[in-house]
């Protein structure tokens, strides 16, 4: 160990489906310096102590959202969480909660991807537009309506923080419903009516129990709880408008 290095014990929840009947914990002694992240600690384990350890990562800059995991029981990005904050105690690391474990710290995300695709997370134009017509213009005020929600990196930390998703996996969850809100609030988009059919359902906005922990753990300050609360109001307005809007109006 070089000058300035300390050692921390990292306890990792392991699961190797080809040989393990269930999960188990395995501890490693890792030398570290104050600037080392939890992700770098895991990379040290994989490179020097145990090459069988599996985890996801890509950018190491809190942009890709790949390295989400449970760190001391809290959903966090491993790349922006530092080992020095846990020394000299033991650090416990596990896969994101509420998702099936694929292997070690890697979880299966098929359910999340299916729901993500279902909200059509892209601009649905109001009418066909030719290339020569130029770009869609938007004022700064129009941008502010959704800017906050456009910074989501699909890290799924909010899903591990959401008790309702843990109880009912049919619930679309905070991240996807806030993304639905992001496109509905975009002045260039015309897909609101289609997306709100999903939001009105029991698996949509009304499935949220307003705990708010999703917003606490979000590494990009997206505030999905606010998006869901706002859309509960929008959903209620849409419901009552059915009784006051003449049939066929707006068609």
Structure tokens at 126: 């109001």
Q: How long, in residues, is the chain?
A: 251
6-107 and 110-244: identical CATH topology = no
Q: Are the C-beta atoms of 162 and 173 separated by less than 8 Å?
A: yes
For residues 39 and 54, give the distance between their C-alpha atoms in angstroms, rounded to a whole number: 12
Spell out the CATH class of 6-107. Answer: alpha beta
- Could you state, in order of their start, the residue ranges of all structural domains in the chain? 6-107, 110-244
First and final C-alpha spacing in the chain: 73
Residues contacting residue 246 through CB under 8 Å, at least 6 positions apart? none
Query: Residue 4: its pLDDT value, please?
Result: 61
CATH of span 110-244: 1.10.1060.10
pLDDT, residue 5, reads: 73
What pLDDT sits at residue 251? 43
pTM: 0.89
Mean pLDDT by 10 residues, the chain (251 residues): 78 96 97 96 98 96 96 98 96 98 97 96 91 91 95 97 95 96 95 91 91 96 93 80 61 43
């Amino acid at each position: 160990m070089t000058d300035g290095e300390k050692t921390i014990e990292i306890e990792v929840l392991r699961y190797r489906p080809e040989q393990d009947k269930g999960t188990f914990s395995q501890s490693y002694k890792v030398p570290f310096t104050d600037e080392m992240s939890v992700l770098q600690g895991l990379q040290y384990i994989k490179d020097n102590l145990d090459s069988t350890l599996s985890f996801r990562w890509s950018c190491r800059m809190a942009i890709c959202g790949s390295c989400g995991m449970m760190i001391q029981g809290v959903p966090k990005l491993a790349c922006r969480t530092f080992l020095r904050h846990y020394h000299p105690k033991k650090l416990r690391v596990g896969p994101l909660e509420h998702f099936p474990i694929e292997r070690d710290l890697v979880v299966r995300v098929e359910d999340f991807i299916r729901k993500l695709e279902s909200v059509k997370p892209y601009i649905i134009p109001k009418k066909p537009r030719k290339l020569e017509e130029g770009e869609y213009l938007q004022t700064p005020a129009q941008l502010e309506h959704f800017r906050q929600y456009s910074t989501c990196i699909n890290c799924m930390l909010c899903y591990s923080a959401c008790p309702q998703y843990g109880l009912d996996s049919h619930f679309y969850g905070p991240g996807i419903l806030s993304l639905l809100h992001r496109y509905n609030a975009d002045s260039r988009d015309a897909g609101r009516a289609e997306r709100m059919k999903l939001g009105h359902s029991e698996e949509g906005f009304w499935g949220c129990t307003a705990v708010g922990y999703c917003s606490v753990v979000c590494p990009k300050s997206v505030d999905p709880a606010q998006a869901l609360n706002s859309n509960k109001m929008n959903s209620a307005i849409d419901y009552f408008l059915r009784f006051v809007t003449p049939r066929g109006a707006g068609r």
